Structure 1
Amino acid sequence: MSYRPMKTALALAVASLAVTAQAQQLQLEEVIVTAQKRVESLQDVPISVSAVSGEKMQDAQITNLEGLTTFVPNFSMNQSGISNNITIRGVSSGINPGFEQSTGMYVDGIYYGRGQLSRLPLFDMERIEVLRGPQPILFGKNSIAGAVSMITAKPSDEFEGQVTALYEFEEKQQDYRVVLSGPLTDTLSGRVAIMYRDQDGSFTNVNTGDDEKQEEETVFRGALRWTPTDLLEIDLKYEHAEFDDVGRNVELTQSIVRDDLVGTGAGIDYVTALDNFVGLANNVLMLDPPVDYAGEDGRLNRRRGGNGDFHNNTVDVGVLGINYALGDYTLTSTTGYLEYEFDQDCDCDFTGASVFNALQDESFEQFSQELRITSPGGETVDYIAGVFYQSSELEFEDSINVPTNSLLRLLNPNFSGISTRRFANQESDMWAVFAQATWNVSDQLRLVFGARYTEEDKEASKQQVHFAGGTAFPATDPGGALPNVFYGLNPLFGAFAIEPYDEIQGDRQEEAFTPLFTVQWDATDWAMVYATYTEGFKAGGFDIRSNGHPDPALVNACTLDTSATPPSCARDIVGVFEFDEEEAESIEIGAKMGLSAAAELNVAAFYTEYTNLQTSQFDGILGFNVTNAGEAEIKGVELDGRWLAAEGLTLSGSVAWLDFEYTDFPNNQCYFGQQVLDPGAVQPNGVTCDATGKRKEYTPEYSGSLTADYVFPLGDSLELRTTVDLVFSDDYLFNPTLDPRSEQDAYTEWNLRVSLGNVAGDWEVAFLGKNLSDEDVVTYGGEAPLAGALTGGTGMAYYSFLDRPRTLALQALYRF
């Protein structure tokens, strides 16, 4: 279904906001946010902000940031085989454990910079605020694309409790939650929240017969609030979360022959080549044991192969927040400790055949401290100023493993029971000072000045080691007698484009000054307009996933040219270790308008220039190399509005138009067959292609949502509530190579929630239907590893991660 009728519907809805005469007696409930570290009305904040309440998250069964993207335009969160990425206005970090996210995530004021933390289950939230565009001052830490501020529910002054349960029929999801909150003494309150969720998934693994991906999540959160005096408030929170997956929501799709060979009989597609390869193993060579394989069909139908993928996570967080009144001023201290561990096994050939698997193990620790002083507000000059410190330590290990029954032993009998392992560590210390002042020039005019100065030191090391038979082999330089130390195995890891090297080390010291200037004018009693200029900064770092040594003189391996006899090196492997900082300059002009007491409309137009964009490029085989992509220009418009059309009927919506263009990106990874389809873009090295003038992945031209919420009274004690959500998106590319075959078509999804409960809100039962139009939405994709090698470069297949199909659930809630 096309998104275009939805644009028409939005235009009609916005136009109807002007019809206000009959709605003068109605009044919208005010939306309160802390986007500027003060408690303010959303309509007073000169930032493009989308706020989603905890109640909306519970009603819509939003359990993580990926689910939140449905209701926030120009915002997406995508899980790939080995990473997680958040995108705002088309800007994200890409695949590499050395990256921090371009979108800063903050939970109760604590910075969550690692992509893995974006998978954290969300529940018992007060609200989530998504701030679009660079946020360099009050959030600051690497928030070059925007910030997501998540606020959990706090202990209450009166006793309250809530129990919810949900069962979803299609994926057999179960979700149970318990919340208890209230006073423990006259000055101490507490809150306990527990969640357990599991599900079977919508994919069928043709190799194992299981439903995937299977998910299991357990979260415990305990919070205390102590107010010993009227001047002092202390909040303490501890959270423990475990969230595990078995299998993946990914499958092989589009098994194709290179365009110039279609119909000539000179090429072979990947699925056919893989089937032939398995047949050769079992029927001709009579391998013992035989290859156990269920064939792939190469179609988008939620059927996949796989051999035991899993993903296990444990997260612990502690937060101490102190607010102390110094006269009319407020002194705030926020102390945070965060640690997580996760390990995963990715059957990253994405087939049921035994080829190779990728193991990953990561642990992370972080300590942060912020001190902030806030003026009382309402003065000639209002200000916020503070200092911030953070230290972190990352330990990372991953491996590529070729099992003893791998199909690759057909190429060479030594391709069995071997592996290559990478070990990496990174430490970071950073501090910053920041201030933002608002000069209230008059009752209508305000000028906002802000700046942040940041210094950060990073140290990192990594090493690549090959193993055979459990024995590690040291790396040697090309002048040694054993260039790859694997004797006859040199072509094997050469084919993987992975070389061994001794530990390499590096350190970076960076500093940045990021200013902000805003003009804010109350044009009328109902309309505020603003214009902002700001600069953003994202620190450089170290490439952890590159499979080669960064020094060309120390290259130990090479890629394998299988067409030569005997096989020989086609090109040397040159890796990456260090990448530079990323910078942005942005202008935003917006308006927050009340069309009546019952209607409001907000609009923001923006233009941002990025330089040295940090991107991660697939090397076409198994590795990812970080590069600073050059420059990009992004412009767009975002609108959102609400209308209390009648008693009990609320209409709301948001829509975004986005234009993204690489203005200088000569070194993007070529997509399959680009040498034939777009030869003018191919660089002299034959590996990278010029993407200048092209649009980035995850940048639909239009996206948005519309919601109608209607509460209908049934007598004096009951009410029926119906909520309809319509979510739409224009087409977009989902492959970082910008392969035109990797395009998600425009789509429209419908969600429905119908509930019956008592007026007091003590209980409720509801039916939930999500993606009722049963759209297949690809959230991430790329070329299947080794597909080009197995087809001799004549064929390819693509892997695609899919969002959930239509789901139907019953939900029950009881409050006491």
Structure 2
Amino acid sequence: MNTSRAEKNKSMSLALLAAAISASAMVPAVTAQDLVLEEVIVTAQKRPQSLQDVPLSVNALAGEKMADAGITNLEAVSAYVPNFSINQTGISTTISIRGISSGINQGFEQSVGMYVDGIYSGRAQLARAPLFDMERVEVVRGPQSILFGKNSIAGAVSLTTAKPSDEFEASVTALYEPEHGEKDLRFVVAGGLTDSVSGRLSILTREMDGWMDNTATGESEPASDEQLFRAQLRWEATDNLAVAVKAEQSQFDITGRNIEIIGDTANETGVGLSTVYPIFSGGDTLDANQDFKRQANGDVSNNDTHNLTVTIDYNLDDFQITSITGLSGYEYDELCDCEYSGLNTFTLGLDEEYEQLSQELRLVSPIGETLEYIVGGFYQSSDLKFHDDFNVPTTSALTAISSALAGYNSQRFFHQDSELWAAFAQLTWNIQDDVRLTLGGRYTGETKSADRYSQTSTQAPNPDVIPGVSLLSLAENVLRAEPHSESGSRDESSFTPLVTLQYDYSDSTMLYATYTTGFKSGGFDVRSNASSDVSVGLPLSVTSALGQPASPVGVFEFDEEEATSYEVGAKMSLLDGAAELNTAIYYTEYDNLQVSIFDGGLGFNVGNAAGAVSQGVELDGRWRVAESLTLTAALAYLDFEFTDYENGECYFRQAEFEPDRVTNAALDMCSFTGKRQAYTPEITASLGGNYRYSFSNGLDFTAAIDLNYSDEYLASTSLDPRLTQDSFMKLNARLALGADNDLWELALVGKNLTDESVLTYGAEVPTSATLVGAATGQQGLAYYGFYDRPRSIALQARVRF
């Protein structure tokens, strides 16, 4: 997208959003007398509340909206919530709120806590799981340290599945999209089984061929195959006791990736990957649009998840006691052609198993009293096993670096046990009818123990370069990797307080101010390629004599990160309840951020190397313009800055362009201090409209249109300006015709109708710089990128019984 188009999109989007949010103030009150917005109920504070009464920046997306819009995972949800993004990388998934996210390492838990029916779901891989038959999704921005607690230092995403009902309901929904071969079939049945027992059964199956053309295999990618099975029972044992059981299993398998080479440096330096391998000549350059074509030798990701949740609610007079027990886990195995160009260099296999047991118990006091409170305790134990397998074929181009790499294999094994407990309380003092003070605190203790083991071998001749130093050891030293073994344990604890003051300025306006802190536990680095023990590896006297860099020093343990946050906001009802406008202004300081630091070879080391400030403004509103028309809008401004980050990964030729930024030339480290994080667009926004018209013959027509806007952002964790995604605006729409009694409906569902090519993640092609340098003796490389799905138009049919 060129600059003028980007500026035009930005101006147009901001104008539309500003008009939608503020127009309600200019409409004569008489038009709103009988138009009242439907109340949105959320559980962001662990009890059902109107969204307008919650002193938090919360966006809620209803399950019906998700089903109608064809939203199948959290990544699709993020398009509708400003200051919330999800980005897939080569070997992980990054979830971000207000610019804060976790780095790329299986040892990280997400900075954004995910909770499914109250069960913590903090592993990155689970963000890819299919979503289906949801009641709502709530995105709570800012540190959520008291009631959510577990590592929710940037915010929380609370997912609530649709529940059993006493009345019978059943539906079958089918969707077909021919361009990318998408087929989606959903079945739901619910109702009373006895006078006291009700149930719900939800089944999903979904397939898609993909939208990338792999010219090496002739297949479309990424091809997906998803299934989800969920069964629920609710037993109303007595008037005061209810027991709910949910069992769920899902599978989401993906063949291929939405990755392609998007250019190289041939036009910049005279050499690039296309210079060495003519197969890439005549291809894209970094300033050209990509073409959804790729070459790869095969990528596969097979994922299985399971969970069992038991929720017990007991009413003791006006108090409610809730117990939530969860047993959950997943396993996946992946084969990653992580060089992404289709060249014969290396393959990476990854597999992971995770099991978690959790128990939460809380007491909720009645509302309307002078003092209202929630107190509780939480326990969680988990077991994580990870293994990766790095292979270099005997015919690999990497043998140009060293003949000892022919048939090279490196395997890494990681195992971690953790145990956590927490006690929390939140007290609201209704000082007078229009003033409330809330005090909260959570004390958390956590113990982790882990071990990591790495071994290497080669099929090639491996003579000693000098006595006691093999050719392979020397090659591994260049790659910043070494066989090693580590083990350790850590104990940590934290106390996170909260203070909130609310004031009802009028019957229609609530103001609030909040101070809180956040905490994210430390842990162990899963994927560091070297030992943290400086005595392991080749002696400095040997590397110096051979003209090689000093032996690498890896990382095993990293510390917790912390946040301090301030937020003021308002929740306003306008036009006698026909419109709402909510605002939040926030300032958050983060210390000791856990980041992945480039090791100068093939990997990254985890370190607490960054401090940052995230501040900005968020607005959202709804307006029921007429009985048949409702508008929604949201707008977010984000100002993000690293305040202390001296060892980030330099981008290509940064030493030439920004010499003052280089902090360690030998390890290719540069200062990020004063810069924005990747995936932090300054402005994000959404605008939606929903219209319904009833014909006299018993038919209803509905139209839903959504505009989602993002300002430009850097799509590379090295902050490479070459990998900048320009501002864009996506248009989604749904047009439906159905019976006025909702028994059937036929719809057209359009996504990304503006056909934007959106780069969600980009980086240098691994080993491309090494290959170019070995072949030409000059500096040059190539870049790859993940791209969102282009325009799609699907036919959707739904029948209810």
Normalized against structure 1, the TM-score is what?
0.93
1:216 maps to which residue?
225
Change in 2 beyond 3 A, CA 1:413/1:631 = closer
1:595 maps to which residue?
574
Among 470, 474, 482, the residue aligned to 1:499: 482
Change in 2 beyond 3 A, CA 1:713/1:666 = same
Instruction: Give runs of aligned pairs for residues 57-68 of structure 1, distance below 5 A.
Output: 57-68=66-77
> Is 1:445 paired with 2:435?
yes
Among 691, 696, 699, the residue aligned to 1:715: 696
2:379 maps to which residue?
389
Could you tell me how far apart the structure 2 residues matched to 1:210 and 1:153 are? 37
> Is 1:455 paired with 2:437?
no
CA contact (8 A) 1:296 1:351 kept: no
Could you tell me how far apart the structure 1 residues matched to 2:619 and 2:315 are? 38
Greater Cα offset, 408-417 or 389-398: 408-417
TM superposition shift of 1:34: 0.4
Could you tell me how far apart the structure 1 residues matched to 2:584 and 2:329 are? 37
Structure 1: which amino acid aligns with 2:670?
Answer: C
TM superposition shift of 1:490: 2.9
1:269 maps to which residue?
272
CA contact (8 A) 1:404 1:416 kept: yes
Could you tell me how far apart the structure 1 residues matched to 2:55 and 2:539 are? 54
Change in 2 beyond 3 A, CA 1:482/1:183 = farther
TM superposition shift of 1:567: 7.8
Could you tell me how far apart the structure 1 residues matched to 2:350 and 2:267 are? 33
Change in 2 beyond 3 A, CA 1:583/1:770 = same
1:736 maps to which residue?
717
Write out per-residue CA displacement over residues 203-258 of structure 1, whole angstroms, 9 at most, x where no aligned residue: 01111111000000000000000011001000000000010000000111120159
Could you tell me how far apart the structure 2 residues matched to 1:763 and 1:523 are? 46
1:284 maps to which residue?
none
1:693 maps to which residue?
674
Could you tell me how far apart the structure 1 residues matched to 2:218 and 2:538 are? 42
Write out per-residue CA displacement over residues 108-149 of structure 1, whole angstroms, 9 at most, x where no aligned residue: 000001101111100000000000000000000000000000
Write out per-residue CA displacement over residues 642-688 of structure 1, whole angstroms, 9 at most, x where no aligned residue: 00001201111101000001111111111111110100010144421
TM superposition shift of 1:751: 0.9
Write out per-residue CA displacement over residues 322-372 of structure 1, whole angstroms, 9 at most, x where no aligned residue: 001111111110000011100001101111121101110100000000110
1:380 maps to which residue?
370
CA contact (8 A) 1:296 1:304 kept: no
Could you tell me how far apart the structure 1 residues matched to 2:36 and 2:539 are? 70
Among 499, 512, 520, the residue aligned to 1:530: 512
TM superposition shift of 1:636: 0.4
2:792 maps to which residue?
807
Structure 2: which amino acid aligns with 1:103?
Answer: V
Could you tell me how far apart the structure 1 residues matched to 2:701 and 2:460 are? 65
Structure 2: which amino acid aligns with 1:256?
Answer: T
Runs of 5+ consecutive residues of structure 2 not aligned to the other structure:
none
Determine what percentage of the aligned residue pairs are the same residue. 51
> Is 1:418 paired with 2:401?
no
TM superposition shift of 1:184: 1.0
Instruction: Give runs of aligned pairs for residues 481-560 of structure 1, distance below 5 A.
Output: 482-483=468-469, 487-501=470-484, 503-556=485-538
Could you tell me how far apart the structure 1 residues matched to 2:615 and 2:430 are? 30
Could you tell me how far apart the structure 1 residues matched to 2:631 and 2:213 are? 39
Structure 2: which amino acid aligns with 1:794?
Answer: Q
Could you tell me how far apart the structure 2 residues matched to 1:620 and 1:712 are? 62
CA contact (8 A) 1:497 1:557 kept: no
Among 702, 715, 724, the residue aligned to 2:705: 724
CA contact (8 A) 2:404 2:460 kept: no
Structure 1: which amino acid aligns with 2:748?
Answer: F
> Is 1:773 paired with 2:777?
no
TM superposition shift of 1:815: 0.8
Could you tell me how far apart the structure 1 residues matched to 2:476 and 2:337 are? 18
Greater Cα offset, 718-727 or 547-556: 547-556
Secondary structure at the aligned position of 1:572 is classed as: coil
CA contact (8 A) 2:235 2:244 kept: yes
Structure 1: which amino acid aligns with 2:306?
Answer: D
Secondary structure at the aligned position of 2:14 is classed as: helix
Instruction: Give runs of aligned pairs for residues 199-210 of structure 1, distance below 5 A.
Output: 199-210=208-219
CA contact (8 A) 1:387 1:433 kept: yes
CA contact (8 A) 1:776 1:803 kept: yes
Write out per-residue CA displacement over residues 500-543 of structure 1, whole angstroms, 9 at most, x where no aligned residue: 11x21111110000000000111000000100000000001111
Structure 1: 4+ residue segments shifted above 6 A: 293-296
Could you tell me how far apart the structure 2 residues matched to 1:61 and 1:103 are? 24
Could you tell me how far apart the structure 1 residues matched to 2:605 and 2:282 are? 32
CA contact (8 A) 1:240 1:314 kept: yes
1:283 maps to which residue?
none
TM superposition shift of 1:481: 5.3
Could you tell me how far apart the structure 1 residues matched to 2:762 and 2:539 are? 28
Change in 2 beyond 3 A, CA 1:812/1:37 = same
Secondary structure at the aligned position of 2:549 is classed as: strand
> Is 1:193 paired with 2:202?
yes
CA contact (8 A) 1:576 1:625 kept: yes
> Is 1:370 paired with 2:360?
yes
Structure 2: which amino acid aligns with 1:750?
Answer: L
Change in 2 beyond 3 A, CA 1:294/1:200 = farther
Secondary structure at the aligned position of 1:345 is classed as: strand
Secondary structure at the aligned position of 2:75 is classed as: helix
1:249 maps to which residue?
258
Among 124, 141, 166, the residue aligned to 1:132: 141
2:683 maps to which residue?
702
Among 19, 25, 35, the residue aligned to 2:34: 25
Greater Cα offset, 705-714 or 618-627: 618-627
Secondary structure at the aligned position of 2:153 is classed as: coil
CA contact (8 A) 2:397 2:771 kept: no
TM superposition shift of 1:469: 4.3
Could you tell me how far apart the structure 1 residues matched to 2:531 and 2:425 are? 42
1:756 maps to which residue?
737
Among 103, 110, 128, the residue aligned to 1:94: 103
> Is 1:123 paired with 2:140?
no
Could you tell me how far apart the structure 1 residues matched to 2:424 and 2:791 are? 47
TM superposition shift of 1:53: 0.3
Among 586, 595, 614, the residue aligned to 1:606: 586
> Is 1:632 paired with 2:612?
yes
Could you tell me how far apart the structure 2 residues matched to 1:196 and 1:142 are? 32
CA RMSD in angstroms comes to: 2.1
CA contact (8 A) 2:136 2:159 kept: yes
Could you tell me how far apart the structure 2 residues matched to 1:755 and 1:105 are? 33
Normalized against structure 2, the TM-score is what?
0.95
Write out per-residue CA displacement over residues 33-55 of structure 1, whole angstroms, 9 at most, x where no aligned residue: 00000111000000000000000
Write out per-residue CA displacement over residues 141-200 of structure 1, whole angstroms, 9 at most, x where no aligned residue: 000000000000111111110100000122110000000111111111111100000101
Structure 1: which amino acid aligns with 2:570?
Answer: A
Instruction: Give runs of aligned pairs for residues 294-313 of structure 1, distance below 5 A.
Output: 300-313=290-303
Secondary structure at the aligned position of 1:547 is classed as: coil
TM superposition shift of 1:571: 4.0
Secondary structure at the aligned position of 1:319 is classed as: strand
Change in 2 beyond 3 A, CA 1:682/1:453 = same
CA contact (8 A) 2:404 2:458 kept: no
CA contact (8 A) 1:784 1:799 kept: yes
TM superposition shift of 1:413: 4.3
CA contact (8 A) 1:500 1:556 kept: no
Instruction: Give runs of aligned pairs for residues 536-685 of structure 1, distance below 5 A.
Output: 536-556=518-538, 568-596=547-575, 597-685=577-665
Secondary structure at the aligned position of 1:490 is classed as: helix
Instruction: Give runs of aligned pairs for residues 135-174 of structure 1, distance below 5 A.
Output: 135-174=144-183
CA contact (8 A) 2:709 2:727 kept: yes
1:286 maps to which residue?
none
Secondary structure at the aligned position of 1:118 is classed as: helix
Secondary structure at the aligned position of 1:9 is classed as: helix
2:304 maps to which residue?
314
TM superposition shift of 1:470: 11
1:788 maps to which residue?
769
